[in-house]
């Protein structure tokens, strides 16, 4: 049979033994760019400064040319998290400068929920009592829009050794921010990597105008702090923020126009030293908990389209009922080939021991063609 042309399929359905794993990621960011470069290269004042390599832009204002986010060598790691240990990471240096953002692949609105998981490490070197927010949800794609919701705040006090960091959340500006406290906890150690998961329910339009909707806002923001990646979504979040009198991210404007939704992620710079220095990595955005936090072994024993594979000690063993594959190519998430070779029908083994830990695309070709995401640890 004539060999088919090989085409990499970047999005596939992965079928685990217990059922189907269909990750619908709206954004996946591991900062796998050259260490030492700014997140946004050659930024200038009063521009969106879109970076064609990283895909990040800046808010268009007088400070958009002041770089304060840099790619640093090495990723953040968190045991069991699928976004752990991949690529590099980005560090905010504490300056009052540009506010970078990256858009999701779709807008989430009108009775829908978005999940955002990421790794973060806060510096404990300086006291930050103001507790400004350091990350938020961008409501509109425009670089001139200043509407952000889903805000996470952080304060740092080095006096409390091992519990220096306090977190808070607020679904939008105004209202009262919900902070961890002595009754709820947890207070977090600085200079330690933490896994945070935002769950944001985007409510419906209540009424037919801004006046009718006022007082009936129904968005709900939840925050999970260091959840166990091997377990499903916890029944109770560590923090929750809901206020019917506080505007939603998807709502009527006073003009009568419907605006907003969960459109992207925004990294906020400090204002007058009110936000701590931090390092962030492993951002995953999806529509379900399972999208952003699949079980740690869910990409190790998988049946994908037309074949299955098993990973053990960085040896990938491929099998199929009819083994019609003669060669393979492993690419990283940027589409770059990192390993290739021939497959033998009697073994189907691939030695990936020289690869760094991370997520790759395994592409097979021969009389059939197939591909699947695969994790190497």
**Better-scored residue on pLDDT, 217 or 80:** 217
Q: Does 262 map to a domain?
A: yes
Q: Does 116 map to a domain?
A: yes
Same domain, 75 and 206: yes
Say which CATH number the domain at 309 has: 2.60.40.3080
**Full domain range(s) for residue 214:** 24-292
Q: How many CB atoms lie within 10 A of CB 271?
A: 11
Q: Encoding tokens for residue 157?
A: 């006090």
- Say if residue 155's pLDDT is above 50: yes
Q: Does 365 map to a domain?
A: yes
Q: How far apart are CA 214 and CA 15, in angstroms?
A: 45
Give the range among 140-149, 292-301, 355-364 with minimum mean pLDDT: 292-301
Q: Encoding tokens for residue 343?
A: 């497959």
Same domain, 363 and 285: no
Same domain, 221 and 348: no
Query: Average model confidence (pLDDT) for the chain?
Result: 86
Give the range among 76-80, 184-188, 269-273 with minimum mean pLDDT: 269-273
Give the range among 239-248, 258-267, 338-347 with minimum mean pLDDT: 338-347
Same domain, 305 and 284: no
Same domain, 284 and 314: no
pLDDT above 90 covers what percent of the chain? Answer: 63
**Better-scored residue on pLDDT, 41 or 374:** 41
Same domain, 352 and 251: no
Span 195-229, pLDDT tens digits: 999 999 999 999 999 999 999 999 999 999 999 99
Q: How far apart are CA 286 and CA 302, in angstroms?
A: 21
> Which of 153, 149, 167 lies closest to 264 in space, CA to CA?
149
Same domain, 210 and 114: yes
- Say if residue 344's pLDDT is above 80: no
Give the range among 13-17, 62-66, 318-322, 373-377 with minimum mean pLDDT: 13-17
Rounded to an integer, the average pLDDT of 2-18 is: 29
Instruction: Give every strand in the sheet of 57-58, ordered side by side.
Output: 57-58, 100-108, 262-267, 133-138, 148-156, 165-170, 178-179
Same domain, 90 and 124: yes
The last residue of one of the domains, among 292, 322, 348, is 292
Same domain, 175 and 277: yes
Are 216 and 244 spatial neighbours (Cβ–Cβ below 8 Å)? yes
**Count of domains in the chain?**
2
Give the range among 66-75, 131-140, 300-309 with minimum mean pLDDT: 300-309
Using pLDDT thresholds of 50, 70 and 90, give the confidence band for residue 265: very high
- Say if residue 282's pLDDT is above 80: yes
Give the range among 4-8, 242-246, 321-325, 372-376 with minimum mean pLDDT: 4-8
Span 227-262, pLDDT tens digits: 999 889 999 999 999 999 999 999 999 999 999 999
The last residue of one of the domains, among 269, 292, 315, is 292
Q: Does 193 map to a domain?
A: yes
Q: Does 364 map to a domain?
A: yes
> Which of 291, 258, 241 lies closest to 136 in space, CA to CA?
241
Same domain, 200 and 327: no
Rounded to an integer, the average pLDDT of 42-71 is: 97
Using pLDDT thresholds of 50, 70 and 90, give the confidence band for residue 114: very high
What pTM did the predictor assign? 0.78
Same domain, 112 and 161: yes
Q: What is the pLDDT of residue 13?
A: 30
- Say if residue 7's pLDDT is above 50: no
Q: What is the pLDDT of residue 6?
A: 30
Q: What is the pLDDT of residue 303?
A: 45
> Could you write out the three-class secondary structure of the chain?
CCCCCCCCCCCCCEEECCEEECCCEEEEECCCCCCCCECCCCCCCCCCCCCCCCCCEECCCCCCCCCCEEEECCCCCCCCCCCCCCCCEEEECCCCCCCEEEEEEEEECCCEEEEEEEEEEECCCCCECCCCEEEEEECCCCCCCCCEEEEEEEEECCCCCCCCEEEEEECCCCCCCEECCCCCCCCECCCCEEEEEEEEEECCCCCCCHHHHCCCCCCEEEEEECCCCCCCCCCCCCEEECCCCCCCCEEECCCCCEEECEEEEEECCCCCCCCCCEEEEEEEEECCHHHHCCCCCCCCEEEECCEEEEEECCEEEEECCCCCEEEEEEECCCCCEEEEEECCCCCCEEECCCCCCEEEEEEEEECCEEEEEEEEC
The last residue of one of the domains, among 292, 327, 354, is 292
Q: How far apart are CA 69 and CA 298, in angstroms?
A: 33
Are 118 and 154 spatial neighbours (Cβ–Cβ below 8 Å)? no
Q: Does 218 map to a domain?
A: yes
Are 351 and 314 spatial neighbours (Cβ–Cβ below 8 Å)? yes
Q: How far apart are CA 62 and CA 69, in angstroms?
A: 17
Rounded to an integer, the average pLDDT of 335-362 is: 80
Q: How far apart are CA 328 and CA 255, in angstroms?
A: 56
Q: What is the pLDDT of residue 184?
A: 84
Q: What is the pLDDT of residue 5?
A: 27
Say which CATH number the domain at 53 has: 2.60.120
Q: Does 16 map to a domain?
A: no
> Which of 290, 376, 276 lies closest to 333 in space, CA to CA?
376
Using pLDDT thresholds of 50, 70 and 90, give the confidence band for residue 54: very high
Using pLDDT thresholds of 50, 70 and 90, give the confidence band for residue 300: very low
Peptide bond into 186 cis (omega under 30): yes
> Which of 322, 358, 318, 320 lies closest to 341 in space, CA to CA?
318
Q: Does 10 map to a domain?
A: no
Q: What is the pLDDT of residue 301?
A: 44
Same domain, 168 and 230: yes
């Amino acid at each position: 049979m004539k060999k088919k042309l090989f085409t990499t399929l970047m999005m596939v359905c992965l079928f685990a033994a217990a059922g189907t794993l269909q990750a619908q990621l709206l954004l996946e960011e591991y900062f796998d760019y050259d260490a030492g470069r700014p997140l946004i290269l050659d930024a200038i004042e009063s521009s969106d400064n879109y970076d064609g390599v990283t895909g990040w832009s800046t808010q268009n204002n007088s400070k958009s040319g002041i770089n304060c986010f840099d790619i640093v060598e090495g990723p953040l790691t968190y045991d069991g998290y699928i976004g752990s240990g991949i690529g590099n990471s980005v560090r905010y240096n504490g300056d009052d400068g540009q506010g970078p953002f990256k858009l999701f692949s779709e807008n989430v609105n009108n009775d829908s929920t978005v999940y955002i998981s990421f790794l973060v490490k806060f510096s404990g070197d300086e006291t930050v009592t103001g507790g400004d927010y350091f990350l938020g949800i961008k409501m509109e794609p425009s670089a001139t829009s200043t509407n952000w919701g889903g805000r996470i705040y952080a304060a740092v006090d080095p006096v409390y050794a091992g519990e220096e960091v306090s977190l808070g959340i607020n679904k939008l500006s105004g209202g009262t921010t919900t902070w961890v406290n002595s009754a709820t906890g947890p207070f977090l150690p600085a200079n330690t990597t933490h896994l945070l998961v935002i769950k944001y329910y985007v409510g419906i339009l209540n009424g037919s105008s801004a006046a009718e909707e006022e007082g009936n806002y129904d968005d709900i923001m939840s925050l999970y702090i260091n959840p166990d990646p091997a377990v499903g979504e916890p029944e109770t979040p560590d923090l929750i923020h809901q206020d019917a009198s506080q505007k939603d991210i998807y709502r009527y404007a006073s003009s009568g126009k419907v605006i907003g939704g969960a459109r992207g992620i925004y990294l906020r710079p400090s204002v007058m030293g009110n936000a701590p220095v931090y390092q962030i990595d492993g951002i995953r955005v999806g529509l379900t908990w399972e999208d952003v936090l699949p079980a740690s072994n869910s990409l190790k024993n998988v049946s994908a389209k037309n074949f299955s594979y098993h990973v053990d000690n960085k040896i990938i063993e491929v099998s199929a009922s009819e083994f019609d594959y003669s060669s393979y190519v492993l690419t990283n998430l940027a589409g770059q080939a990192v390993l290739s070779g021939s497959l033998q029908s009697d073994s189907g083994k691939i030695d990936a021991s020289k690869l760094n830990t991370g997520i790759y695309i395994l592409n097979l070709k021969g009389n059939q063609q197939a591909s699947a995401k695969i994790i190497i640890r």
